Amino acid sequence: MIAYQQQERLIGDPVKTQIKRNFKNSVLFPTRFLGLNAQCAAQLELEKRFITHNIVPMANNKIAFEVTQTGNKHVFSVEQVLAFYMCKLHEFYVKDEVTTKDIVLTIPSYASNVERQALLDAIDIAGLKCLRIINESTAICYNYGFFRKADLSAE
């Protein structure tokens, strides 16, 4: 979740506390819009039931979110909104003294190539380097293999 207030941009948990007061400028679940464009009218109509912000078509046939911040209307693409979120995540890691810009991300196995490319575009906008995008189920297996080796039998 990302919310745009008068003087700042909130990302993550702080959005939950103010979403009822600022619902028009709060973007919820931007990943649901990955890979969608203006041609996907049926899918966009379905998604509009669950959101409170405006969706506008861009000149390049992609969709964007229209929000108001400091009295001005801004139009941010889905990739830009995700890049804001990734930059915030990167700040958390820098606070813990993890200074690398290399990341590995997961995506659902049912995601299309267009959605994967949109995620890569968001990573580029954020100034990060994506080493690999892997399926969520593969990431779960890796996690189990790395952190639960003692639970596995030798056979």
Q: pLDDT digits over 1-33, tens only?
A: 777 677 777 777 777 777 777 777 778 788 888
Structural domains of the chain sorted by starting position, each given as residue range(s) with its CATH number in brackets: 2-77 (3.30.30.30), 80-151 (3.30.420.40)
What band does 121 get if pLDDT is binned at 50, 70 and 90?
Answer: very high
**Rounded mean pLDDT of 55-77?**
84
Q: pTM of the prediction? A: 0.77
Pairing between β-strand 72-77 and β-strand 2-4 as defined by DSSP bridges: unpaired
Pairwise CA distance, residues 124 & 150, whole Å: 38
Report the side by side order of strands in the sheet with 26-27. 9-11, 2-4, 26-27
Pairwise CA distance, residues 144 & 134, whole Å: 15
Q: pLDDT digits over 72-99, tens only?
A: 888 888 898 889 888 888 888 888 888 8
Pairwise CA distance, residues 106 & 91, whole Å: 19
Written as six digits, the tokens of 55 are 């969706």
What band does 140 get if pLDDT is binned at 50, 70 and 90?
Answer: confident
Sequential DSSP letters for 29-79: -GGGGTT-BTT-HHHHHHHGGG--SEEEE-TTSBEEEEEEETTEEEEEEHH
**Which residue did the predictor score with more confidence, 16 or 101?**
101
